[in-house]
Amino acid sequence: MQMRTCLHDKIGWIFDLDGTLTVPVHDFGVIRQELAIPEGEDILGHLGQLPEELAAPKQRRLDEIERELAGYAVAAPGVLALLDHLGRCQSRLGILTRNSREVALVTLEAIGAHGYFHPDDVLGRAEAPPKPNPSGVVQLCTQWQVAAGQVVMVGDYLFDLLAGRSAGAATVHVARPDGQRWPAASDVSVETLDELLLLLKQT
Q: What span, in angstroms and rounded, lies between the C-alpha atoms of 186 and 196? A: 13
Cβ count near 127 (within 10 Å): 17
CA dihedral for 68, 96, 192, 184, sign (positive or negative): positive
DSSP-assigned letter for residue 98: S
pLDDT tens-place string over residues 49-67 = 888 888 788 778 877 778 7
Say if residues 62 and 43 touch (Cβ distance below 8 Å).
Answer: yes
Amino acid in position 72 = Y
Q: According to the model, what pLDDT value does residue 72 have?
A: 82
pLDDT tens-place string over residues 143-187 = 999 999 999 999 999 999 999 999 999 999 999 988 999 999 999
Q: What's the Cα-to-Cα distance from 178 to each of 8, 19, 175, 191, 199, rounded to whole Å? A: 29, 11, 8, 12, 23
Q: What span, in angstroms and rounded, lies between the C-alpha atoms of 149 and 168? A: 6
Q: According to the model, what pLDDT value does residue 48 have?
A: 79
Q: Where residue 36 falls among pLDDT bands split at 50, 70, 90?
A: confident
Residue 16 has pLDDT above 70, yes or no: yes
Q: pLDDT above 70 covers what percent of the chain?
A: 94
Q: Where residue 28 falls among pLDDT bands split at 50, 70, 90?
A: low
Q: What span, in angstroms and rounded, lies between the C-alpha atoms of 172 and 87? A: 18
pTM above 0.85, yes or no: no
Q: According to the model, what pLDDT value does residue 27 have?
A: 61
pLDDT tens-place string over residues 64-97 = 778 777 778 899 999 999 999 999 999 999 999 9
Q: According to the model, what pLDDT value does residue 2 have?
A: 59
Backbone φ, ψ for residue 198 (5° rounding): -60, -40
DSSP-assigned letter for residue 22: B
